Amino acid sequence: MIGRINHIAIAVPDLAAASTRYRDLLGARVGEPQALPEHGVIVVFVDTGNAKVELMAPLGEDSPIAGFLEKNPAGGMHHMCFEVRDIATATQRLVAGGARVLGDGRPRTGAHGLPVIFLHPKDFDGVLIELEEIGEG
Amino acid sequence: MIGRINHIAIAVPDLAAASTRYRDLLGARVGEPQALPEHGVIVVFVDTGNAKVELMAPLGEDSPIAGFLEKNPAGGMHHMCFEVRDIATATQRLVAGGARVLGDGRPRTGAHGLPVIFLHPKDFDGVLIELEEIGEG
């Protein structure tokens, strides 16, 4: 069911500093900051060739990562995202197996404009897993 | 400098249960458990097509992930690993830039039999980063 790792998301307290570290210390290909106000984050994508690292800082009030950064002020790995072909089928299989989908259980539009769900970390070893529908492509 | 994401390592309290969840709920290709006594872990690799998820449980006394699981009893994302072509050059660049390499600063042989270093999480937004030398490939 799950396909490729699409990205690893890292919550960071200082996006400019994090971007500089990935570019200058790790020599990575680092993009420009993109504000995603509807998701409450501003992100920078690091292209590693096979998958992305997504550096995220809070944007605006009620950012969904504000709580995480309160608990982890230095930052940390926030979630990992796998690609799926059909998110409805994936959701059905997960729910039938007893896994919990966050929110109202229905896909919403994620940061890349594609349908996503998030799975409860308690069902997956403390790890917040995002599934993103990439279609049959 | 950094190349592909080689793996995301997840510390889990119960390796069999975690493997079953990845196989049955997420429908992932899950390998057999491999004991790595010299690294104090027993691991299961999940092949996602472009990178690996490495589920790790402690093995023996003084496992390097015992402390992490004490702080995070449910488990959690432990580190991420990037591939590099030349670990000596990578280390020099990182140290020259002020980053700290864990241990004595020299590469050691990692879980895949290749030279690895780990970077101090305080230098990278609370994230433990492993670099693994894959050669000129």
The label of the residue with tokens 């992100």 reads: A43
The whole-angstrom distance between A130's CA and the closest CA on chain B is: 11
The three-state secondary structure class of A43 is strand
Average pLDDT over residues B44-55: 96
Q: Give the per-residue pLDDT at A137.
A: 54
CA dihedral B35, B39, B45, B47 (to 10 degrees): -150
- Kindly report the nearest CA distance between residue B110 and chain A, in angstroms: 19
Contact B125 A55 (CB under 8 A): yes
Please give the pLDDT value at position A61.
85
B83, B130, B132, B133: the catalytic one is B130
Q: Are A74 and B49 a contacting pair at CB < 8 A? A: no
- Is A133 annotated as catalytic? no
- What pLDDT does B58 receive? 98
According to CATH, what is the number of the domain A5-133?
3.10.180.10
ipTM entry:
0.95
pLDDT value for B111: 83
Instruction: Print pLDDT tens along chain A (137 aa).
Output: 999 999 999 999 999 999 999 999 999 999 999 999 999 999 999 999 999 999 999 999 899 999 999 999 999 999 999 999 999 999 999 999 999 999 998 999 988 889 999 999 999 999 999 999 997 65
- DSSP letters, B29-91, are EE---EEEGGGTEEEEEEE-SSSEEEEEEE-STT-TTHHHHHH-TT-EEEEEEEEES-HHHHH
